[in-house]
Amino acid sequence: MDNKQKAGSADRTRINIHEGYELDYWSAKFGISKEKLKAVVETVGTSASTVEDYLKK
């Protein structure tokens, strides 16, 4: 998702909290604030599936 020069599908397996559009996308997808998303990524890492599992607990 970070390399805008590459054609093809976006990498939806990792969350880059340093990109505003990714914060917008993932916080909306998970229904949480951007600040909460940043905190969770800092805790469990950038894997979208791991973040989702963490939020389900």
Residue 5 confidence (pLDDT) = 58
Residue 30 confidence (pLDDT) = 96
Residue 12 confidence (pLDDT) = 81
Residue 8 confidence (pLDDT) = 46
pLDDT tens, residue order, the chain (57 aa): 455 555 445 678 999 999 999 999 999 999 999 999 999 999 999 999 999 999 998
28's tokens: 């909306």
Residue among 45, 48, 2, 38 at smallest CA distance from 17? 38
C-beta separation of 11 from 49 below 8 A: no
